[in-house]
Amino acid sequence: MADVSDKLAYFQAITGLEDPDLCSEILAAHDWDLELAISSFTSTSNPTTDTTTHRGGDNNFQSSSQSEPPLPPPPPGLAWKLIKLPVSVISGSLGLITGAIGLGLWAAGGVLSYSLGFMGLGSGPSSSASAPLVSVSAATTEAMDFVAAFERDYGNTTKPNFVSEGFMDALQRSRNSFKLLFVYLHSPDHPDTPSFCRRTLCSETFVEFVNQNFVCWGGSIRASEGFKMSNSLKASRFPFCALVMAATNQRIALLQQVEGPKSPEEMLVTLQRVLEESSPVLVAARLDAEERRNNMRLREEQDAAYRAALEADQARERQRREEEERLAREAAEAERKRKEEEEARERAAQEAAEKQAALAKLRQEKAQSLGEEPEKGPNVTQVLVRFPNGVRKERRFNSTVTIQSLYDYVDSLDCLEAESYSLVSNFPRVVYGQEKLTLSLKEAGLHPQASLFVELSS
């Protein structure tokens, strides 16, 4: 790790210690050698020297200080070490590994077990500052070439299902399926390779177990990615197999490595043990992923319900506003009509008043034009006028006045609303219309007395 803060964070994550001051003291006591400090923290006995490297007990994890005594091995349980991958392997596939690892430590009766928490892989490409040495297509091509060569040399019926993709893609696949990644580094020139591939890797029981429980990736050390992985895993003897899982910050967790030829039975025992030890981790990761998916689905359902409720509220609000606007428009229209009707009534009233005033004035003028009613005499004509409403009016006129004076008399009485009418006599029936207005009463045959009725024009 590059700096003190990273080492301190990793030491806390791996050991489960929360006190940063205590972690700093432990790291400082081991010259800030992270691997030495972790091993010292978890060790109880002397290391072994088997060619099968288990629980981080190989020479690659010895202290850089030659004065330190040999470190005791970790106690039984799932133990591992972090391996930093080369940038070319990371940038040549999915990208930088991101996420978090939690490691809890529990001791009882001298038994130490490790529990890994959630592991994550980033899906984004590496930054442009890290120029990939192996492109995505090149890593995939190398994996496909290895699978093709293996099937050509050892058959394609009974074999591990090596994925035809780069190491990082295979690691991502194992993480998504909650399985460990079985890594096989193939050395074509090693004398033990052919017999190991035929007797062990292509063993029916081994193949069935590996294909069922692991994601398998293989690479030839003659190829770029296989060679880089052999350096990262510090492969010193072939055939070489390893069990790894995703860790954090461009690292993988090495759970087991097997160097040298092994029988199918030996391999199965080793893989079965590691699988049993890592099972709680994988189950916890699966449960955690399921919980996240359930939480995400619950959040989506809640969001959907919230959006539906919000849309319903918005729809009701729009409907309420539209109803208010409609009512406001109707009220405004009703108010406009009311004002128009009121104005029309006022105009009609005013016109009626003006008409009444004009009629009153006209009656007054016509009454004045008639003059005083004459006394009875030989030259005076007595005229009786009957109106359609049964009213009778009688007046004396000089026999020399014209028929027009009779019409003026009728207009001055305020007994008739109609403006168009005619004066008519019954016996004989004579209509005194426009053509007779200039005749005098005597000339019209109405002297000395006449009885007329008002006939309305249709």
Three-state SS annotation for 173-209? HHHHCCCEEEEEEECCCCCCHHHHHHHHHCCHHHHHH
Span of 12-16, 94-98, 285-289, 303-307 with lowest mean pLDDT: 94-98
The overall average pLDDT reported for the chain is 79
pTM flag (> 0.75): no
Q: Which two tokens stand for residue 304?
A: 């959907």
Distance CA 130, CA 17 (A): 34
pLDDT class of 204 with cuts at 50, 70, 90? very high
Tens digit of each residue's pLDDT (9 = 90 or more) over 48-76: 333 334 433 333 333 333 333 333 333 33
Rounded average pLDDT over 415-439: 88
More confident residue, 63 or 339: 339
Residues 6+ apart with CB under 8 A from 453: 385, 386, 387, 423, 424, 425, 426
Rounded average pLDDT over 88-100: 44
Residue 182 contacts residue 163 (beta carbons within 8 Å): no
Span of 159-168, 273-282, 336-345 with lowest mean pLDDT: 273-282
Span of 81-90, 203-212, 257-266, 376-385 with lowest mean pLDDT: 81-90
Q: Which domains does the chain have, with CATH numbers?
A: 1-39 (1.10.8), 138-299 (3.40.30.10), 380-456 (3.10.20.90)
| 332 backbone dihedrals φ, ψ, rounded to 5° | -65, -40
Task: Reply yes or no on whether the pLDDT at 118 is more than 80.
Answer: no
Distance CA 4, CA 246 (A): 23
